Chain A
Amino acid sequence: MSIRELTAENFDEAVADGTSLVDFWAAWCGPCKMQSPVVDAFAAAHGDVKVCKVNVDEQPALAMRFGIMSIPTLMVFRGGEAVKKTVGLSSLEEIEEMCR
């Protein structure tokens, strides 16, 4: 499944139903560049989860709304509700566990 880049305008609609994994990242963050291929691999293997990214540099309002204070941060939403949040690098297994 393709990965969708979210903005303050389309965020709520995008995560409104089903399970969504959101990767908060920025271009200047080294660890985010490591997280990215892992998130891509997760997306490729889990078509049932909507995988999205938020560039915190371009979307400061979303970063503030979800209290993003360190990146990478991964969040899981179910039916629009935030149910999980992890700060720092997550392995493929950890992401799978989060979305289970």
Chain B
Amino acid sequence: MDGSACDILILGAGPAGISAALTAHARGRSVIVLGADPMGSPLAKAERIGNYPGLAGMSGRQLLSSMLGDLERAGIRRVTGRVTGVMAFGGSFMVSAEQNVYQARTLILAAGARQGEKPLPGEMPLLGKGVSWCATCDGMLYRGKRVAVLSLGGEGEKDAAFLRDIGCEVLYFDPTQAKKAEIKGADRVTAVVCGGAEHPVEGVFVLRDTVAASALLPALPMQDGHIAVDGEMRTGIPGVFAAGDCVGRPYQIARAVGQGNTAALTADGYLKERDK
């Protein structure tokens, strides 16, 4: 699978993911960091970080940009994209993001707290019956048809433009509108209700920056809306580790960085054990 195979694939490019990447890299592991642009995260909006030692009043943006600089200096590959599928196969994991596929021996899930978001009314029952999470995957099946784009992240407009380009008639709803949307249909999608009006459509693209880990890995044990982990950041699936806001509160940078570090060390130990 060319340059897309690695020891440790890290899903999420925030403090937990970056910390895990730096530690795994220092241990000699091949690493790819895959995730949404962290500059669209809530941390990027923080004006000042007061409780992380040594930052001297940096903003969230400054901290992220400094952390991303660390990745770059270490020569760690980072890919911006939305993960659309994860599957265990033949002793490793395959992960798809947009049109690409990556293969890794272990995964570290570090995609933040937004994954706890509840699905929209109608979203889960109609998934695959007109509801799609991936415009590049399913867009072509809706050429010449009327579809709604419910953008719940920062990238929805790009996907809406893509769908228009390939010949879909697109109704676009920004995050403020999309949050309150409802998807209607029995066997297949018939309409989306948004802003008090019902719009007949044949397809609905629900686009978040991050697809929930529990949706990508249905076997992943959860606890109170977060990924369940032990003290060494192991999840309930062997070879899958998790760190940061996705494993629970408090949502703090210091905690995320520490957990990312632990997750990488545990993943490294797991790989060593397997290679014995």
CA distance A89 to B87 in the complex (A): 8
The answer to whether A71 touches B101 (Cβ under 8 A) is: no
The answer to whether A31 touches B84 (Cβ under 8 A) is: yes
The answer to whether A34 touches B101 (Cβ under 8 A) is: yes
Does B229 belong to the interface (CB within 8 Å)? no
CA distance A68 to B188 in the complex (A): 11
Does B74 belong to the interface (CB within 8 Å)? no
Find chain B residues with CB under 8 A from A33 CB.
96, 101
Interface size on A, residues (CB 8 A): 25
Chain B 12-37, CB-CB to A under 8 Å as 1, else 0, gives: 00000000000000000000000000
Q: How far, in Å, is A36 (CB) from chain B's closest CB?
A: 9
CA distance A41 to B88 in the complex (A): 13
Give the interface size class of chain B: 20 to 34
Q: How far, in Å, is A43 (CB) from chain B's closest CB?
A: 14
Considering the complex, which residues of chain B in the window 232-268 have a beta carbon less than 8 Å from any beta carbon of chain A?
none
CA distance A6 to B203 in the complex (A): 26
Chain A 53-92, CB-CB to B under 8 Å as 1, else 0, gives: 0001100000100011111010000000000000111011
Find chain B residues with CB under 8 A from A91 CB.
87-89
Does A3 belong to the interface (CB within 8 Å)? no
The answer to whether B85 touches A56 (Cβ under 8 A) is: no
CA distance A87 to B129 in the complex (A): 9
The answer to whether A34 touches B96 (Cβ under 8 A) is: yes
B101: nearest residue on chain A (CB-CB)?
Answer: A33
The total number of A-B Cβ pairs within 8 Å is 80
B215: nearest residue on chain A (CB-CB)?
Answer: A88
Q: A69-B130, A69-B132, A87-B128 are in contact. Are A28 and B85 (CB under 8 A)?
A: no
Q: How far, in Å, is B113 (CB) from chain A's closest CB?
A: 25
The answer to whether A56 touches B140 (Cβ under 8 A) is: yes
The answer to whether A31 touches B134 (Cβ under 8 A) is: yes
The answer to whether B141 touches A71 (Cβ under 8 A) is: yes
Does A18 belong to the interface (CB within 8 Å)? no
The answer to whether B188 touches A31 (Cβ under 8 A) is: no
Does B98 belong to the interface (CB within 8 Å)? yes
The answer to whether B188 touches A69 (Cβ under 8 A) is: yes
Considering the complex, which residues of chain B in the window 126-170 have a beta carbon less than 8 Å from any beta carbon of chain A?
127-132, 134, 136-138, 140-141
Does A38 belong to the interface (CB within 8 Å)? yes
Name 23 A/B residue pairs within 8 A (Cβ), A-sorted.
A28-B137, A29-B134, A30-B84, A30-B136, A30-B137, A31-B96, A31-B134, A31-B137, A32-B137, A33-B96, A34-B95, A34-B96, A41-B90, A63-B141, A69-B132, A69-B203, A70-B127, A71-B138, A71-B141, A73-B128, A87-B127, A91-B87, A91-B89
- Chain A residues proximal to chain B, CB less than 8 Å: 26, 28-34, 37-38, 41, 56-57, 63, 67-71, 73, 87-89, 91-92
> Can you list the 8 inter-chain pairs with the closest CB atoms, starting with the nearest?
A87-B128, A30-B96, A31-B85, A29-B137, A34-B94, A70-B128, A33-B101, A31-B96
